[in-house]
Amino acid sequence: MPLSIFGFRAMWSPTLIGVLVFFTVLYFLVTTKWRKDFKYSEPLKKGEAVSFVFAMVMLYVIIGSPIDLMAHIMFTMHMVQMAFLLLFIPIFFIIGIPNWLWKSTINLPFIKPAFHFLTKPMIAIFNFVLLFSFYHLPAVLDYIKLDETLHGIYTFVLFMSALFMYWPLLNTVEGEPRMKDLNKFFYIIANAILITPACALIIFSSTAFYATYTNGEMWMKSMALCVPSSTLQGLSLSGPELFTNMSPVEDQQLGGVIMKIIQEIIFACILGRVFIMWYRNDQKNADQMTEEALKERQRLYANQYH
């Protein structure tokens, strides 16, 4: 059955387009026209602008396009949505916001204590893993997906926890605590390990957990989060089986596998970047030491013959 039966509004979320355009315009006003009002301001870099715009476009693709609608129909697409929303997009938000804007925001009195606490590596990683794992408990997910306000709040909290989780890895703000390159390796590996049990329970279960993806009545209620009630009332639908050939168990297992694969790919890319940065810094330090040793040898040689 085609997704077009749910209508343009459900498939393309025009309201979200307006919201994201507003924040994108605000971003460029703050980082260009209004930046002189900030203490630490610097000219906006091309890479920062590209990263932020890319993050906004991806945010729309993940939660505003038909992917969001499919995420309410199939658990597989829900996990694809979660993987990109929590593990991919936050990277570009952090990179896209200039360091001076981060510094100005972080140093606000009512933000600084909470931000520094929530971005401590151990706090950040456990906070993210616990929130993600708790969200995917069957009773919790089914309950949240039946309440639009609660679903929006929890999704926002999850996204913020992902930003805090990535901060120790990506932070380059002057004066802010930075994690050593070697510790970043262990941090990424620990993250991958700690999130595995939640994915494993989903992958290796022989029964379908989630009523909002198996029970026709609850599925219809959860669809109300992205489809206008007036549209739903005019449709005769029995459940998600009308849109997929997979059984609920297969759908659930595939979702867990895809989540884990995407996570491993993203973390592998980050590990590669960390290794390259570590190697470059190590080579730079070695070159500096060699240069200093040569200068010291030249100084001793000059003193010997004078």
Phi-psi region of 175 (alpha: psi -120 to 50; beta: other; left: phi over 0): left
151-187 per-residue burial string, b: 16 or more CB within 10 A, e: under 16: beebbeebbebbbbbbbbbbbebeebeebeeeebeeb
Tens of pLDDT, residues 61-97: 999 999 999 999 999 999 999 999 999 999 999 999 9
Q: Is the pLDDT of residue 280 over 80?
A: no
Q: What pLDDT sits at residue 291?
A: 62
The encoded tokens of residue 134 equal 């708790």
Q: What is the mean pLDDT of the chain?
A: 90
Cα gap 160→124, rounded to integer Å: 10
Least confident of 195-199, 251-255, 292-296: 292-296
- pLDDT at 305 exceeding the cut of 60: no
Q: Quick: pLDDT tens for 185-243.
A: 899 999 999 999 999 999 999 999 999 999 988 998 999 898 888 888 888 787 888 88
The confidence band for 274, taking pLDDT boundaries of 50, 70 and 90, is confident
Q: What is the mean pLDDT of residues 179-188?
A: 88
Q: Is the pLDDT of residue 19 over 60?
A: yes
pLDDT the model gives residue 287: 59
Burial class from Cβ neighbours inside 10 Å (0-12, 13-18, 19+) for residue 7 reads: middle
Instruction: Check: CB of residue 162 under 8 Å from CB of residue 87.
Output: yes
The answer to whether the CB of 96 falls within 8 A of the CB of 52 is yes
- Confidence check: pLDDT of 269 > 80: yes
Two structure tokens written together for 216: 């026709």
Q: Quick one: which of 59, 38, 49, 158 has its CA closest to 105? A: 38
Nearest to 116 by CA among 177, 184, 186, 165: 177
Residue 298 has pLDDT above 80, yes or no: no
Query: Is the confidence at residue 290, as pLDDT, over 90?
Result: no
Please check the confidence at residue 281 and state whether its pLDDT lies above 80.
no
Q: Which of 20, 30, 95 is nearest to 59 (CA)?
A: 20
301 has pLDDT over 80: no
Q: What is the pTM of this model?
A: 0.90
Summarised one tens digit per residue, pLDDT across range 101-133 is 999 999 999 999 999 999 999 999 999 999 999
pLDDT confidence bin for 137, thresholds 50/70/90: very high
pLDDT of residue 85: 97
pLDDT digits (tens, 9 = 90+) for 20-69: 999 999 999 999 999 988 877 899 999 999 999 999 999 999 999 999 99
